[in-house]
Amino acid sequence: MLCGTVLSTQAMAQVDRAAIAAGISGARLMENAGAGVVRAITGRLSPGRVLLLCGPGNNGGDGYVIARRLAAAGWPVRVAALGDPARLKGDAALAAARWNGPIGRLTEPAAGSFDILVDALFGAGLDRPLDPALGARLHELAAGRPQVVAVDVPSGVDGTTGTVS
């Protein structure tokens, strides 16, 4: 059991591969990850307006699961995607297809205000600095001082070294 254990990005990737090799689908892992984040949000934060930032890979797929589950629980949710959701592949594409709400673009101004910002852009595997324009956009979104929840690690933080770009 790994509860309470902090894993390196490499070790977590190995755990994911082992789970899939044992017959647990990537879609099930994504659903479980999203459900866990929703439990953390609903257990720790007061209900509020959520802006969910979904990236172009599996972390973004987790975000679509979170959006769907929070909306089903009655939380007002808006999704903003980095890139074109139609270009998602595999399990992330499946998760995005199951989200039945609108999907805005991260580059567009946020319509209305929000209380909670969920960062499901890149996750622990990001090993390069953020694009400066994206970094500026994230700072802009955080300027309203929402509660911020990151899936895996906040965008711009190297999941292995902890270095902030």
Domains detected in the chain: 9-150 (3.40.50.10260)
- pLDDT band at residue 7, thresholds of 50, 70 and 90? confident
- Choose the most confident range, by mean pLDDT, from 36-50, 116-130, 151-165: 36-50
- How many whole angstroms separate alpha carbon 164 and alpha carbon 44? 26
With bands split at pLDDT 50, 70 and 90, how would you rate the model's confidence at 1? very low
Backbone angles phi, psi at 116, to 5 degrees: -130, 130
User: Is the whole-model pTM more than 0.75?
Assistant: yes
Give the number of other Cβ atoms within 10 Å of residue 109's Cβ.
Answer: 9
- pLDDT confidence of 24, banded at 50, 70, 90? very high
Give dist(CA 72, CA 141) in Å, integer: 24
Sign of CA dihedral 139, 158, 63, 58: positive
Q: Which residues, in sequence order, are bridge partners of residue 78?
A: 51
**Which helix (H) or strand (E) segment is 80 a member of?**
strand 77-81
Residue 81, pLDDT > 70, answer: yes
127-140 confidence digits (pLDDT tens): 788 999 999 999 99
- Please, which pLDDT band fits residue 116 given cuts at 50, 70 and 90? very high
